[in-house]
Amino acid sequence: MIEELHLPLPGIRTIEATLDLPGLVATYSTLIFRVAHSVVRNRAEAEDVVQDTFVRVIEHRRKLPSIRDLRVWLVRIAWNLALDRRRRIRPEQMDDLFAASLVSTHLPADQALSETQQAQAVFCEMDRLPKLERQALLLSALEELDTAEIARILGKSDSAVRALLHRARTRLRERLKKAGYA
Amino acid sequence: MNSTDQQIDRALHALRHAAPSDGMDQRLLARLKDHAATPAPSWHPVLTFAPPVAALLTAALLLMVFHHAQRPTAPATIQTTAQAAPEANQATPQRIQSPVVLPASHTSVPILSPSTASQPATAAEIDPAYLPSFPAPEAPLTADERRLLRAAQHAPTYDVAQLEALPEPLARRQGAVAQYIHHMLAPLITAESFSPTPAVEHDPPPLTQPEAQSESQPDSNSSPQ
């Protein structure tokens, strides 16, 4: 009778066995990298954010079975970690190299410099957007995330996300025109 | 689409196609292997510190109780009401039970047993004449009592009401002066007792002034004889 009533409870080894770390890294590392890179705009810093994100996953591996949407959960962690890391690095450290990498190498020097300055101005104005508008705009740039997933990440409805995207583009366009980059 | 929208789309496109450097997954797995080897914390951080804190508090409490129990106190002799009440009901009140000597740890409060506490004792049942009395132990004299005793022995003329106001050295000094005067006058008092001197009647001084006035100023009213 006692053996029949004995229920197999999941032990520590069982829970650890459910954490397929190589599979998680292979599946989500590129998405997490792009989320982090949209915030910090630096490859090395974005890679560190990816590592910190998976460290959090290991620390909370007991909660993993209760997480409904692992993809949204990981993007939220990566976004917050990227924001924390971005406060510790200078804006020039982020934008110079990345903006220069956007410009074609076949252009003349003066034209390349002008386009680099325009790209830096766009990123600078993106950073000045309100928090939710900026987050919606940057997450919409990632092709891995649709509007419904962005809405779950932000904790908003789909229509609210679309409104945020519209307001963000309008505000960004106006500010760039005002700065003379139209 | 104007140039501003083109700039925005170009920036977002660049963010969309940002690719990690080669071998990022392998580097990540190599670094994360150490973290995965460490066991996951099974306790909440607050609960981790709870057992040591509880142990420290328990030890402090035990130490305090042990220290309180070892404090030196004199054994007290008390008679509980539970013992006194039946004796009051007995027909022979002369048979008084000997008082109970409790150990030092039980000196705080007389404890009534529930059976005795539930029985109400009326005034008629407990006659104060039959109850044993327990006078307070003799206490040392206070400073005022010592001063009063000394004044009663050496300086009987002292006003007791002034004792409170007089400081002790002044009272002692005045007592010594009075004793010295009493000692010096003792032979005179003895001699006076053996040969008492007659009492001298002190007449009032003669009124010389009117006589002088009468000598210097002849009475105009008196007739010459």
Could you tell me the mean pLDDT of each successive run of 10 residues in chain A, 182 residues long? Answer: 40 53 89 90 89 90 83 92 85 65 71 80 88 91 86 92 93 87 68
Contact assignment for A172 to B8 by CB distance below 8 Å: yes
Distance of CA B225 to the CA centre of its chain: 97
> What one-letter code names the amino acid at B67?
H
For A38, name the nearest residue in chain B, comparing CA atoms only.
B15
- Three-class DSSP category at A6: coil
Residues 6+ apart with CB under 8 A from A115: A102, A103, A107
CATH T-level assignment (fold) for domain A91-178: Arc Repressor Mutant, subunit A (1.10.10)
Task: Report which of residues B63 and B83 the model is more confident about.
Answer: B63
pLDDT, residue A82, reads: 92
pLDDT digits (tens, 9 = 90+) for B8-58: 888 888 888 888 888 888 888 888 887 766 665 555 566 667 778 888 999
d(CA B149, CA B138): 16
Q: Which residues pair with B78 in a beta bridge?
A: B100
Find the helix or strand (DSSP H, E) in which B78 lies. strand B77-78
pLDDT, residue A132, reads: 92
Output the pTM of the full model: 0.50
Domain definitions of chain A by residue range: 9-86, 91-178
pLDDT, residue A166, reads: 94
Residue of B1, B5, B15 to mutate, testing the A interface (most A Cβ within 10 Å of its Cβ): B15
CATH T-level assignment (fold) for domain A9-86: Rna Polymerase Sigma Factor; Chain: A (1.10.1740)
- Three-class DSSP category at A178: helix
pLDDT, residue A13, reads: 44
**Residue A180, phi-psi category: left (phi > 0), alpha (psi -120 to 50), beta (remainder):** left
Residue with tokens 């206070």: B142
Q: Which residues pair with B101 in a beta bridge?
A: B77
From A82, A146, A153, A92, select the one nearest A117 (Cα to Cα).
Answer: A92
pLDDT, average across residues B66-91? 55
Give, as one character, the DSSP assignment of residue B160.
G
Residues of A in contact with B32 (CB under 8 A): 21, 25, 51, 54-55, 58
Q: Which long-range contacts (CB under 8 A, 24 or more apart) does B147-150 make?
A: B147/B171, B150/B175
d(CA B49, CA A128): 44
User: A-B interface: how many C-beta pairs under 8 angstroms?
Assistant: 104
Does B181 reside within a domain? yes
pLDDT, residue B109, reads: 46
- Please, are residues A103 and A116 in contact by the beta-carbon 8 Å criterion? yes
pLDDT digits (tens, 9 = 90+) for B127-152: 666 777 777 778 888 889 888 888 88
Residue B163 above 60 pLDDT? no
Angle, vertex CA A45, rays to CA A161 and CA A175, nearest 5: 45
Contact assignment for A29 to B13 by CB distance below 8 Å: no
At residue B121, φ and ψ (nearest 5 deg) are: -105, 115
For B8, name the nearest residue in chain A, comparing CA atoms only.
A122
Q: How many of the other CB atoms lie within 10 Å of CB of B84?
A: 17
d(CA B167, CA B174): 11
- Please, are residues A94 and A48 in contact by the beta-carbon 8 Å criterion? no
Contact assignment for A138 to B15 by CB distance below 8 Å: yes
d(CA B12, CA A140): 9
From B77, B36, B8, select the one nearest A56 (Cα to Cα).
Answer: B36
Task: Give the minimum alpha-carbon distance from A83 to chain B in angstroms, rounded to a whole number.
Answer: 16
Residues 6+ apart with CB under 8 A from B81: B110, B112, B116, B121
Contact assignment for A47 to B20 by CB distance below 8 Å: yes
Q: ipTM > 0.85?
A: no
The pLDDT-based confidence of B201 (bands split at 50, 70, 90) is low
The pLDDT-based confidence of B94 (bands split at 50, 70, 90) is very low
Residue of B7, B33, B38 to mutate, testing the A interface (most A Cβ within 10 Å of its Cβ): B7
- Three-class DSSP category at A67: coil
pLDDT digits (tens, 9 = 90+) for B173-196: 888 888 888 888 888 888 887 777
| Structural domain boundaries, residue B159 | 143-192
Name the domain count of chain B: 1
pLDDT digits (tens, 9 = 90+) for A52-64: 999 998 888 888 8
Contact assignment for B20 to A46 by CB distance below 8 Å: yes
